[in-house]
């Protein structure tokens, strides 16, 4: 179940499209403020691997 506790990216500026993250016990839910009807759900391990990849660029 997707929680109602969405956290906005700390890199988001006023008026920008922002990434929002919500978690539950076994999933990470990701959405964009401009397309909030689309939610991508991944495992915590997959999300960590994604963040590691982005940080390496």
* Cα dihedral 5, 3, 53, 33 in deg (nearest 10): -60
Scan for tokens 């956290």, then name that residue: 7
52 has pLDDT over 90 = yes
In this prediction, what percent of the chain has a pLDDT beyond 70?
A: 84
Q: Which pLDDT score, from 0 to 100, does residue 8 have?
A: 84
Whether pLDDT at 29 is above 60: yes
Highest mean predicted confidence (pLDDT) among 4-8, 10-14, 20-24, 35-39: 20-24
Phi first, then psi: give them for residue 42, nearest 5 degrees: -135, 170
d(CA 28, CA 7): 11
More confident residue, 38 or 27: 27
| % of the chain exceeding 90 in pLDDT | 42
């Amino acid at each position: 179940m997707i929680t109602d506790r969405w956290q906005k990216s700390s890199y988001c500026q006023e008026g920008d499209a922002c990434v929002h993250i919500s978690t539950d016990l076994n999933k990470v839910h990701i959405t964009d403020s401009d397309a909030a009807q689309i939610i991508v759900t991944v495992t915590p391990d997959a999300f960590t691997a994604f963040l590691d990849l982005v940080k390496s660029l």
